[in-house]
Amino acid sequence: MPLYEHVMIARQDLSNTQAEGLIEHFGTVLSDNGGTLVDHEYWGVKTMAYRINKNRKGHYAFLRSDAPATAVQEMERLMRLHDDVMRVLTIKVDEHKEGPSIQMQKRDDRRDRR
């Protein structure tokens, strides 16, 4: 099955447990449609570059999935309809990288990239 990475921004007035509950909810949507949620990371509340729906901050979450295209389309459709989700970005990748994402790595570990 194809591999996907998703970044989701939820409203800032949600609690951390509610934001993590959204991740679990959309993970079950994937599993109900024949896919699996390989990994997920909750990045926390971050300031956005510009306002979205009068919000300056949002809860960021990163999801890695292994799912057919129909399951991803259904998850994205439900995310667009959900009142708490402001933005979603989904990309198709060739492989999932092991370990934490760049956002979760320590600043000292990221200096090796240069």
Phi/psi region, residue 53 (left: phi>0; alpha: psi -120 to 50; beta: rest), is: left
Domain residues for the domain of 39 are 3-113
Distance of CA 33 to the CA centre of its chain: 18
- Total domains in the chain come to 1
Predicted TM-score (pTM) of this structure: 0.84
Q: Which tokens go with 99?
A: 């370990």
CATH number at residue 47: 3.30.70.60
List, for residues 24-71, the tens digit of each pLDDT value.
Answer: 999 999 999 999 999 999 998 999 999 988 899 999 999 999 999 999
